[in-house]
């Protein structure tokens, strides 16, 4: 009888809690984070593991009433929210060739299944995720900005002055729920993995809570079912035949020139890219080359203009001499010039 009474209390409390809960707004944390192209795991799992295990240890073999079970459940939910990642290190994809090719791929898929338009990642948001983290407050953000700045020297040591040209070719998926473009060469994956591991250590030494130990798999997500709750109810798996024509397609190259510390939750920039707290740039000399090229181009234009002006002046003088020979009237300037020449000749005599 006591057990039956406890069960009844538990069910009544559960029902009451469900009635009091309000529906989750469209721009909630979960819906915002659904846009992030992480690896084949629920992003919450990466940060909830420690908190959940602690709760389970405390609750192990402990006799509880229905109310205590409910309180334990609420504590667990709070822990999950507390340790959800809200910032990440992004390698932005800016090459128009890549973004254009991905747009063509997305259009081809949508033509075959209109519902998947809700699953597409916008071109301005395309990036490779290097590292995810949880920053609790502005002080943590400031520490993370410092850690990113400290990372620059270590990353440049890994690059050894070489330009990392990342080639994207072919398509793969995670559990038929996430579609992504692959890196074409294994050495690209190796250098990005080394960079990610190095940065992770630096951030952890600063006390920043980063993801659990999972295999880093750099990828460029272009489609994800979790972007829309409604879509997930309609489509359980992405049919690979929808992108069959692009399975070995070459999308283009992206030079590793910048890494950004971005917020998952703050309002995006007008171009669709994430809110950026700080950045580190590699190969500043290469970045200055377009300015030099512009100066060279300007110099060429000045020379060309000077040559054209000289040719035009020569042609005008030739035409004027021809008119003088034919007895045709000449320009006032030419007449003045002629008078001056005659006066000079008289003086010389």
Give which of 133, 147, 90 is closest to 269, Cα–Cα.
Answer: 90
Which pLDDT score is estimated for 349?
46
Element (H, E) at 259: strand 258-263
How far is 93 from 258, CA to CA, in rounded Å? Answer: 10
Using the 8-state DSSP alphabet, how is residue 95 labeled?
-
Instruction: Find how far residue 261's CA is from the centre of its chain.
Output: 10
Q: Where are the domains of the chain?
A: 87-281
| pLDDT attached to residue 215 | 74
- Residue ranges for the chain with pLDDT beneath 50: 17, 19-65, 67-69, 80, 285-291, 330-343, 345-349
Helices (H) and strands (E) counted in the chain, each on its own, are 10, 9
What are the residue ranges of helices labelled H in 60-136? Answer: 66-82, 96-112
CB atoms within 10 A of CB 345: 9
Sheet holding 209-210, edge to edge: 209-210, 127-134, 87-92, 258-263, 275-281
Quote the CA–CA distance of 87 and 25 in Å, as a whole number: 21
Cβ atoms of 116 and 109 within 8 Å: the answer is yes
CA-CA distance, 299 to 307, in Å (whole number)? 12
**Kind plus residue range of the DSSP H or E element containing 306:** helix 284-326
CA distance readout (Å), 59 to 74, 127, 236 = 13, 41, 35
Alpha-carbon distance 211 to 152, whole Å? 21
**How many angstroms separate the Cα of 248 from the Cα of each of 40, 105, 171, 184?**
21, 12, 7, 10
Q: Tell me the C-alpha distance between 160 and 152, whole Å.
A: 12
CA distance 162 to 100: 27
Give just the sign of the alpha carbon dihedral 148, 150, 153, 155: negative
Residue 279, Cβ density class (10 Å: 0-12 exposed, 13-18 middle, ≥19 buried): middle
Burial of 16 (0-12, 13-18, 19+ CB in 10 A): exposed
Phi, psi of 194 (to 5 degrees): -65, -40
- In DSSP terms, 258 is beta-bridged to 281
Q: Domain 87-281 class?
A: alpha beta
Residues 6+ apart with CB under 8 A from 144: 87, 133, 135, 203, 206, 208, 261, 277, 278
Q: State how far Cα 309 lies from the chain centre.
A: 48
Q: Is the pTM of this model over 0.95?
A: no
């Amino acid at each position: 009888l006591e057990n039956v009474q406890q069960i009844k209390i538990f069910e009544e409390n559960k029902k009451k809690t469900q009635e009091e809960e309000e529906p989750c707004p469209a721009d909630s944390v979960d819906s915002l984070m659904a846009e992030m192209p992480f690896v084949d795991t629920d992003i919450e799992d990466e940060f909830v593991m420690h908190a959940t295990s602690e709760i389970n240890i405390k609750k192990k073999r402990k006799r509880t009433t229905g109310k205590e079970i409910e309180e334990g459940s609420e504590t667990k939910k709070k822990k999950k929210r507390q340790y959800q990642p809200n910032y990440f290190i992004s390698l932005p994809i800016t090459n128009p060739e890549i973004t254009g090719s991905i747009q063509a791929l997305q259009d081809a898929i949508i033509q075959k299944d209109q519902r998947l338009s809700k699953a597409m990642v916008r071109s301005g948001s395309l990036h490779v995720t290097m590292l995810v983290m949880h920053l609790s407050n502005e002080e943590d953000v400031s520490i993370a900005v410092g850690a990113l700045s400290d990372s620059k020297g270590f990353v440049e040591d890994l690059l050894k002055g070489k330009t990392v040209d990342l080639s994207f070719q072919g398509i793969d998926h995670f559990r038929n729920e996430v579609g992504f473009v692959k890196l074409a060469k294994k050495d690209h994956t190796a250098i990005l993995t080394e960079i990610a591991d190095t940065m992770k250590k630096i951030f952890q030494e600063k006390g920043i809570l980063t993801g659990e130990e999972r295999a880093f798999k750099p990828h460029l997500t272009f489609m994800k079912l979790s972007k829309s709750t409604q879509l997930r109810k309609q489509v359980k798996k992405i049919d690979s035949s929808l992108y069959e024509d692009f399975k070995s397609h070459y999308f283009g190259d992206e030079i590793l020139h910048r890494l950004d510390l971005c917020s998952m939750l703050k309002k995006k920039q007008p171009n669709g890219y994430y809110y950026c707290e700080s950045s580190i740039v590699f190969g500043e000399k290469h970045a200055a080359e377009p300015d030099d090229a512009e100066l060279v181009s300007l110099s060429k234009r000045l020379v060309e203009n000077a040559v054209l002006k000289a040719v035009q002046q020569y042609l005008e003088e030739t035409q004027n001499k021809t008119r003088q020979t034919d007895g045709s009237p000449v320009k006032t300037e030419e007449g003045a010039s002629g008078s001056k020449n005659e006066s000079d000749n008289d003086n010389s005599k």
